[in-house]
Structure 1
Amino acid sequence: MEADAAKFIGAGLACVALAGAGLGIGQIFGNYLSAALRNPSAAPAQFPNLLLGFALAEATGLFGLVVALMLLFVV
């Protein structure tokens, strides 16, 4: 029984990465939109950086989700 409780606690803590990814993605897109409104001519040049930042932030969240699922169903 205690092992199940520890497994659920560990999976819950691993899901904190999902909240961080959501905050990071919001920050990335919010800053891009703010910068694009200030200087619309520079926005297309920064779009690849936007996608790279999105991919890295989303990958962090997905790794956290994989760890949580592994804790729940593999261990």
Structure 2
Amino acid sequence: ELAYAGVFRIANVPKENLHPLVMIECPRLLFPFAREIIATAVRDGGFPPLMLDPVDFVGLYRQNMERQAAQMQASQVKPS
């Protein structure tokens, strides 16, 4: 398990683009570093190399937004 974070200064971004930027681009910037830390810790621990596949943060974002939209629709539809 790895806890890894970044501090980002975001300026001059329209409000409607802020959420996708934070949920897609920020993780995309952090992930390679976190992946390297994990790979190094595993290798230095004497275990076989662990190579984590790249993550499609755009796809994950879209899936999450679709799931949230479906949940909102389901909560708005009230049985009679």
TM-score by length of 1: 0.46
The structure carrying a bigger helix percent of its residues is: 1
TM-score by length of 2: 0.44
Higher relative contact order (CA 8 A, sep 6+): 1
